Amino acid sequence: MIINHPLLGPRDAQEFTYLGDANLINRPDWQAEDAVDQFHEYLYQRDNPAGKHRELWYHEAGDRSWLVVTRDTLTHEITGVELARDVALKSGRGK
């Protein structure tokens, strides 16, 4: 698989390590009333779709950026690559 890095261009997937579903960016609020339930969902439960999947890849053997890759789990086709930082900021993190 070739991951088209937004800053570095096409890179072999071997340079990356895989973490999982991009929802892992959205860490729950630890002070919420139901924080235990929320963290259980966050840490252990997965949508695990057959089809389009947004997922976190880490460019370990490269610039060490975290990427959000949109990939089809049925065909391995990659249709989108974003910097995880941009995704996080867009969703309101860092405010």
- Counting contacts by CB under 8 A, is residue 49 touching another protein? yes
Task: Give the three-class secondary structure for 10.
Answer: strand
Q: Which one, 45 or 91, has the nearer CB to another protein?
A: 45
* Least CB distance to another protein at residue 90 (A): 23
Token reading at 38? 């929320």
- Counting contacts by CB under 8 A, is residue 93 touching another protein? no
- Counting contacts by CB under 8 A, is residue 76 touching another protein? yes
In whole angstroms, what is the distance from residue 8 CA to residue 29 CA? 34
Neighbouring-strand partners of residue 3: 11
CB 30, CB 43: distance < 8 Å: no
Query: Looking at 33, 44, 92, 94, which residue binds another protein (CB under 8 A)?
Result: 44
* Least CB distance to another protein at residue 82 (A): 17
Token reading at 67? 């990427």
